[in-house]
Structure 1
């Protein structure tokens, strides 16, 4: 197999702001963005933001990943940022140009792009913080014939048949979500998440956002066992965080998105998940999650699944870079077959 990929990332760029604009930007950031202590003047005034948190609560309030997922506190999150009145506006994304060549008969050749962008707006509302966030992908147009080749990968459908030795594109709407965080005390955070398309409290940070997979242009082979629930319909999540420990519960529609990727799917809340997250220090993040999915596969409508995952993430800042690793386990069990 030969895979050639060219990566494009949204990188923060420095603007030539005057000293007065610098002071104004610092003031706005301090008012509108929770947990922004430790940011340099240069970062804030130039609309360059590389967020790094000092606690789990601070990390969660940044909301730079999809859903309500967590990662090690020390993980950097570069993005573009600007201020509009009381709103903090942020943007980041990633795109790959891929040329994959796999030997036949099971393999195939294809030129395609995998990509996503994430715009976000955040402001203080009442005694808490409101975050509005979208995650969009143009893969329905940049991956032709509803799939790209990937030996040994399988999951979901294309043209009414199970995708085998291939991966489906992401939906155009990967996430449309509103989040609200309210600090009950200095060490306690109550969080709410609602999304017609979003990421329930299930599994680790999904692979498009994982630092350890950030330069991987295609889905990992374990994706459908480990983090495939990162795009689900009609998601509601409640989370409670105390110091370095977080408990969450979600309700959502269990059927995976259909193969018509440009539209928004919907359905009644018929599935649930729960997740325990622990961040012991700056460099580590552990999660265990359990979910029951009602009829997730379109071609097996009578089969419910119980999904379990456990993961341990490690991140360490280096002098000229960043080291990120993850150990991840996932299991699906059919509730029909046992």
Structure 2
């Protein structure tokens, strides 16, 4: 079986459909929780599935350093290792290499860098990235690329993009013929329309199973990101999935889907849960604030997650302030549940041709803000 993509409905530029893999279907638009080190922090795999997630993201860079891709392969692959039998997408390691600019050396061949774990030296190339992702056994593999932080000059963005396109061709060759596994190319080009178009043309000429819009949410701001998304997805084939990497906040996600994006990932819902930041349909809540300490109401009375069904704001405030582990568990579950609720609502709205009305109601509710304190 090959990985395939079927579009089932459109409403403006927004799309809904399904990515079919040997490990199950992924409903799009899809949000992928991030399992950096073979775990979504503070969550059991079955709990992640209960939030509505069809697919997880694993991190090539972190897994190659610890516990090591070869070790994971010997233990049966990433799915068995982390007890997640549904699809997994692995990133290429390119973003982490960008974030380690002070520890790396970049060349045409690839990147050498020092491990943030123990200072040991490693080399990551397109070929090695493909090998690591093969050892992990991920269903969707990402090309190795260079992702420059923004703002950056057009010359620097162009240099990085063209290097990434040469690396994309090497990634495709190294990936080889792997039935049941997909390889996605990554568009670069910063906020420059001409560079984005050049990048997309290069990727389409190479040919991939899906295409990512990379190099956004790296410091350019939401307005600039949306400006790029107004045109960049249109440079990519309509019959392939479009993946916006590393995004984002709820209104980022809705804006991206509105502009034709099918897949997203972000650490925000899980990381925020661990720091007491809660996403609800009325906006963001800081559970550490004293206004919640005597409040018997749930985070969101319309939410069906365990945190909202079974616990009060007062309790969640208490366990967060007491640094109890259950705080991270409950708040992360709630955030991931809310994100998946957004995805399901958008899928239904697109299928029924009412996305604009749904989006207006989404923003209107968030603008009202949290319920009044008692």
> Aligning the two structures, in what range does the TM-score lie when normalised by the shorter sequence?
under 0.3
- As a proportion of its length, which structure holds more helix? 2
The structure in which a higher percent of residues are strand is 1
TM-score when normalising by structure 1: 0.27
